[in-house]
Each structure stands twice: as C-alpha cells, then as structure tokens.
Amino acid sequence: MAAAQAGTTGSSDERTPLLSTATTTTASAASSVTNAETEPTDTIDSALTRTPSKGDGDGTDASLESKSWWASIWRPANRVLLASFVISLSFAFTQVSIIYVFRVMECDTYYQTHPPYTGSGDRCSLDAILASTSRQFAILGATTSFFGTWNLFVAGQQVKRWGPRAALILQTSVPALRVLTQIIAIYIGGRVGVHIIHITQAITIFGGPAGYLLVVNTIGSEVVAPAERTALFGRLQGCVMLGGAIGFLLGGIVGETFGIVRPFETAFFLLLMASVYARSTMPYISPDSLSGPIAQKPRGGLSSFTEPLKVLLPQKTRLSSGRITNHYGVFFLCFGSFIGVVATGYAPVLLQMYATSRFEFNQADNAWLLSSNSFVRAFFLIFLFPRIIDLGRKWFARLSRKEYRALRKGRRSSSLLSAGKKDNRRPSQPSYGATDSGSGDAANPEITEIPTQPEQFDAPLTMQVEEEPILVRVPTVEHHHHTEHNEDGVESDEEEDAEAEADEKKAAYAFDLFFLRWSLLVDGVITACAALTTEGWHMYVITVLLPFGSGTAPAAKGVITSMCPQSQRTDALNAITLVENIARLFTLGVFGYLFSALADVGKPQLTFYCNGALAILGMLVLLFSHFPPRDSELVEEEVAAAAVEAPQESD
C-alpha cells in the first residue's frame, strides 16, 4: 500500500490513486476499507513490492526477488499496453475482409442488372464496381465515424460515472453484438446485406474503437508520471498498430483460406475474450480521483456530454503582473490536429483501394500491405518514438539551460552595477539626526528636524516609473510559488535554481509540440509521393515509409494534457480524440467520394496530392499553437471568475 500512498501525497505528481485504499487520513482510511470490500483491487502490486524484513531467510529473499521481477513486468502500465494490443487485434480482424465483403456484394448487385461477365480475369475488376464499392465503403466509414463520435461522449460519461475499467468492459463487449449482426448480413448478401451492415453501425454508440481508445488512454495517463505520458501515449498507439497489423494479416489469411465469413466469427470470440481480460487485469481507478481538487461533480443531462467541448475554449492564464488573459494554444492545437487527420487519415484505406484498382491486389495482398504498414508503425511508436521524445526534450532543456544561464549572468551583472552606484552615493546623503561635530559637519550638516513628509525624502536610487507596481504573484491550485530575495533585492540561488528547473520542464514539453508540427509535414510529403508509384512493390515502399510520420496523434495527446490542468485531463483526452474522430468522419466522406469521382475519370492518384497539400496546411496552423508564457500559470475557471469579480467588488 505504500506505493499507492506515495503516489497521492502531493499535487506535483498529478497521479491519481490506482487503489481506493491509498489514503492518509482516518476518514479516508475508513472509506478505503469500504471500497476494498466492494471493488476488487490490485493488492498484488503492494504485496509484491513490500520491503523484506531482517528476519526473512534466504528462501524468502529469493521468493521476493522473483516476485519483484514479475511485478516489474506485470505493472499497470504494461497491462494497459497489452490490453490495447488485444483489443485492437480483435477490432482489426475484420477490417480487410469488410472491404472484400462490400466488393463481393456490390459485384453481385451489379450483375443482377447487367449481362454476365465474359472477359478474362476477375469479373469484379470493373471501374463501375470499384466506384460503387468505394461509395459504399465511404458510407460505412461515415456512419462508423458519426456513431463513433457519439461513442466518445458515451464512453466519457461511462468513465466519469463507473470508472475506466467498467467503461473498458462495455467498450469491448458491445461491439461483439455488432459483429454478430454483420455475420447475419454476410449470409444474406447483396444490397440488403450492405444496408444491414450500415444500419447496425448504430450499435457503435454504446461501444466501439473510438471509445475504447479513449478509455485506455485515460487509464494510461493515470498510471504513469506526467513526464512519461507522451512516451506512454506513443507506446499505446504502437501497441494498437501492432495489434492491428496482426489482425489485418491473420484476418486476411483466414478470410482467404476459410471464407469471408470466418474472420467475423473469430472477431466475435476475440472481443468476448478481450472483455474478460479487461475485467481481470485492469486496475480499479475511482471516478472521483479523475477530477481535480476544485472540480465540480459531473452534471446530468446534455450539459454533461458537452464537457469535453469546453476544453476547446480559450484558457485563462495569470501573467506575472497578475493580469488574467486568454490563451488559444489548445484551440489551435486541436484545429491543426483536425486538418492533419483529415489529410492523412484516409491514407491506409486509400492505399488499399488504389492498390486494388491499379495493381489488382487481392485480399491477401491487401492484408500484407496493411499489416506491413502497421508493423513498421508499431516498431516506430514503441521503440523509436519514446527515444526521440526523450532526446528531443533533453535538447530543448539544454538550450533553455544555456539561455537561463545567460539571463542569470545578466541579472547579477546589473545587480552588482546597481550596488556599486548605491555605495558611491552614500557619502553624499544627509545624515538625519547626526550629533557629531567636526570635519564631517561641513559635508553633512546636522538636521535637527526629522522629515515627516514624502517630499522631504530623497528620491529612490532606482529608476522611477510612473506605472502601476507589479503585483505579487498569487498562488493558485496549479502552482505555489514563493520568492526570496537577498539584501540587494536579487533572488536567492535556491529560487533561481527552482525557476531554472521549471523553465527546463516547460522547454522539454515544448519539444512535443515541435515534433508534432514536423511529423505532420513528413507524413503529408510521403503521402503525396504515393501518387508517383508505377509498380506494385512501390506500394509496399510507401507503406514502410509512412509510419515514420505517425507520431502526430500521441504527440498531440501529450501536448494537450500538458496544456490543461489536472481536473480537465480526461476531458482533454476526450476532446482531442473527438477532434480526430470527427476528422476521420470528414476525410472518409469527402476523400472517399473524391477518390470515387477521380476513379471514374481514371485519375485516382490525384487524391494523394490533395492529402499532401492539406497536411502542409495543418502544419502551418500548428505554428499558432504555443504553451502559455514562461512566467504565467493556468487558473481554473472558478479562480479566474473570482479574480475578475474581486476588483469590481472593491470599487
């Protein structure tokens, strides 16, 4: 239990308790006993990490050592990573087959009103069937994204009311019912089967891929330190890609070998197994621990669904002068991420559709195409992305340290110069109340009357500025800052070191935003290069290069959680996921029909150029997103409102 208690003793850690028993007061201890009886907790974590006593024998030490080794592997963060892998594999098992299902259904529908095919090759390899399949898949993507958007709101409410673990169980068990209806639609076939698949996408509102990603990211942000969140988001995304890669590959092979309905039957049982895994391994996190100390309780009704949208509003920041201003960093971050997902979100589907029409890729070829892309992306996000973030943050912190040393040197030089001027002027100052007589009387005449009026005093040695004085920095719930000065009014070394450390931390987080911008640019350029492919193996080269620009999504999650206060962390992740999901809805609808229109005229490759140009536009929008100023701090909505009303009441 000591590990859990250490994670909740201070606000600087920002981690919420994994166990309901992590308390420090008597009343909280009583509440934790109740929670321990009603909610299963990960007591193995504390049991495996206890310190052995002196009386323990060698056998006990060896046993504890082996248990500690297992505890380090089976820690909550790794369990969340494994959960994301298992669930993504279950969802991806039908992604390759669903396109082939639509192609077969549209092909059968086409020949119901047209003469039989008499040429050589695949009878479904016609431009009319390709365009019809593209339109139906665009509708499927639009309905999935539309209902997935509502799924985000529902999943967010499930997290706030029942906790992330219960929400994750719902997000994996409900999709099993949707897959079951798709199996029925495949057996029916034709246009009726297509309509059934479209209609049953409404089940996604209560559980689907978008909601489960939100939940696992929420759990992941609670089980690691704040500085490790961006790297964990990347690993989570990498595990999702790895599960998707294996799901694409196995689903395509199973569909090619055993028929197109077998991947759906397999996915049904995989989703049920994922629900059991989530129930048995995920740590219990209390819904109350996801809110900040001054956060209000969740409200009911429609207003509770719009809480994530409030994150997009301008933030309130208090400057060093005490003035509260608006900060638009989160807004431009979400807007730029939206454009980036619109530009690159359709790339995997576009590559698959283009390879099928241009190079006649079959179901197995598309499975290898998508799985290779996901494998390389998983490798990049799991192993390279955290390393890049770590090295980049050290680079930015080193630059900030050099800048602060130069600034500190300038401060000390100016303070010494000011002190020297003060010492030179001291002999010429009048000695009020002096009683000595002698040679010094001529220079310092005795003043018998002590000055009592302001105009009788000498002007201060420092520069006189006819402006309002700088207000004292008021501490908030986000940051408590105490300044100490020496005799010359210069900040102490301890205070300067603390300020330098804070600046280095901010500079380190600034690298995440820097990486986000350039990663989106790289992604757009590589996507545009796909239009230059002339051979089938060129498509595999593009799919291998594309993952090296895939760090935009985890970097955006890391940046937005750094920009928002603790009480808005869950809503911030919900907001950025919502923006990405809406962008996918937009790109599947717009670029799906654009690809269909260009395919009708025989120029489908022009879609890649449109994607690349839009990605560059998204990178330009991200240039307007910045962290708050160095000497400012975020304030909660209630604190900002009180600070604005205070001057009015004093008047």
Residue 368, domain CATH: 1.20.1250.20
Q: Is-contact 351 542, C-beta < 8 A?
A: yes
Q: What is the DSSP letter of 120?
A: S
pLDDT higher for 65 or 11? 65
Same domain, 42 and 164: no
Same domain, 29 and 161: no
Angle at 212 between CA 86 and CA 570, to 5 degrees: 130
Take residue 194 and report the two structure tokens written for it. 């297509």
Q: Secondary structure of the chain: what % helix, strand, coil (to 5)?
A: 70, 0, 25
Residue 82 sits at φ, ψ, to 5 deg, of -65, -35
The CA–CA distances, whole Å, from 233 to 112, 155, 224, 575 equal 49, 18, 11, 15
pLDDT higher for 592 or 467? 592
Spatial CB neighbours of 473, under 8 Å, sequence gap ≥ 6:
318, 320, 322, 481, 483
Q: Is-contact 223 236, C-beta < 8 A?
A: no
Residue 326 sits at φ, ψ, to 5 deg, of -95, 145
Can you give the pLDDT at residue 63? 61
Residue 57: which H helix or E strand, with range? none
Lowest mean pLDDT among 197-201, 304-308, 384-388: 304-308
Can you give the pLDDT at residue 209? 87
Q: Answer whether residue 486 is part of any domain.
A: no
Q: Answer whether residue 230 is part of any domain.
A: yes
Same domain, 28 and 134: no
Q: Answer whether residue 550 is part of any domain.
A: yes
How far is 607 from 593, CA to CA, in rounded Å? 10
Same domain, 99 and 38: no
Q: What is the DSSP letter of 291?
A: S
Same domain, 138 and 268: yes
Can you give the pLDDT at residue 82? 94
Q: Is-contact 381 554, C-beta < 8 A?
A: yes
Tell me how crowded residue 453 is: count the other CB atoms within 10 A of its CB: 6
Same domain, 39 and 101: no
**Can you tell me whether residue 634 is helix, strand or coil?**
strand
Same domain, 129 and 91: yes
The CA–CA distances, whole Å, from 123 to 97, 103, 119, 260 equal 18, 11, 7, 18
Q: Is-contact 386 77, C-beta < 8 A?
A: no
Q: How far is CA 510 from the centre of its chain?
A: 14
Q: Is 438 left (phi over 0), alpha (psi -120 to 50) or beta?
A: left
Q: Is-contact 293 280, C-beta < 8 A?
A: no
Place of tokens 């495996």: 48
Let me know if 636 is exposed, middle or buried by CB neighbors in 10 A (0-12, 13-18, 19+).
buried
pLDDT higher for 367 or 310? 310
Same domain, 35 and 174: no
Strand 324-327 to 315-318 pairing: antiparallel
Count of helix runs (H) and strand runs (E) in the chain: 24, 3
How far is 215 from 278, CA to CA, in rounded Å? 11
Q: Which residues of 480-496 are buried (b: 16+ CB within 10 A; e: fewer)?
A: eeeeeeeeeebbeeebb
Q: Answer whether residue 590 is part of any domain.
A: yes
How far is 307 from 579, CA to CA, in rounded Å? 14
DSSP string, 484-499: -B-TTSPBPHHHHHHH
The CA–CA distances, whole Å, from 462 to 330, 471, 489 equal 40, 18, 12
Residues 150-174, mean pLDDT to the nearest whole number: 91
pTM here is 0.69
Residue 327: which H helix or E strand, with range? strand 324-327
Same domain, 83 and 137: yes
Lowest mean pLDDT among 7-21, 282-296, 430-444: 7-21
Q: Is-contact 297 289, C-beta < 8 A?
A: no
Domain residues for the domain of 5 are 1-49
Residue 529 reports pLDDT greater than 80: yes
Same domain, 22 and 78: no
Sign of CA dihedral 106, 107, 111, 112: negative
Tally of domains within the chain = 2
Q: Answer whether residue 436 is part of any domain.
A: no
Take residue 374 and report the two structure tokens written for it. 């996901």
Q: How many CA atoms lie within 13 A of 598 on its CB side?
A: 20
Residue 621 reports pLDDT greater than 50: yes
Same domain, 11 and 142: no
Band of the pLDDT at 328, cuts 50, 70, 90?
very high
Can you give the pLDDT at residue 614? 93
Spatial CB neighbours of 322, under 8 Å, sequence gap ≥ 6:
470, 471, 472, 473, 474
Take residue 303 and report the two structure tokens written for it. 């207003």
The CA–CA distances, whole Å, from 388 to 343, 394, 515, 516 equal 24, 10, 9, 12
**Can you tell me whether residue 458 is helix, strand or coil?**
coil
Q: Answer whether residue 54 is part of any domain.
A: no
Can you give the pLDDT at residue 175? 94
Spatial CB neighbours of 385, under 8 Å, sequence gap ≥ 6:
231, 234, 235, 238, 551, 554
Residues in the chain: 651
Residue 633: which H helix or E strand, with range? strand 633-634
Residue 24 reports pLDDT greater than 90: no
Residue 445 reports pLDDT greater than 60: no
Can you give the pLDDT at residue 469? 35
Q: Answer whether residue 440 is part of any domain.
A: no
Q: Answer whether residue 180 is part of any domain.
A: yes
**Can you tell me whether residue 94 is helix, strand or coil?**
coil
Q: Is 443 left (phi over 0), alpha (psi -120 to 50) or beta?
A: alpha
Same domain, 141 and 23: no
Band of the pLDDT at 248, cuts 50, 70, 90?
confident
Taking alpha carbons only, the member of 14, 289, 62 closest to residue 165 is 289
Residue 386 reports pLDDT greater than 80: yes
Can you give the pLDDT at residue 263? 93
The chain-wide mean pLDDT, for the chain, equals 75
Let me know if 175 is exposed, middle or buried by CB neighbors in 10 A (0-12, 13-18, 19+).
buried
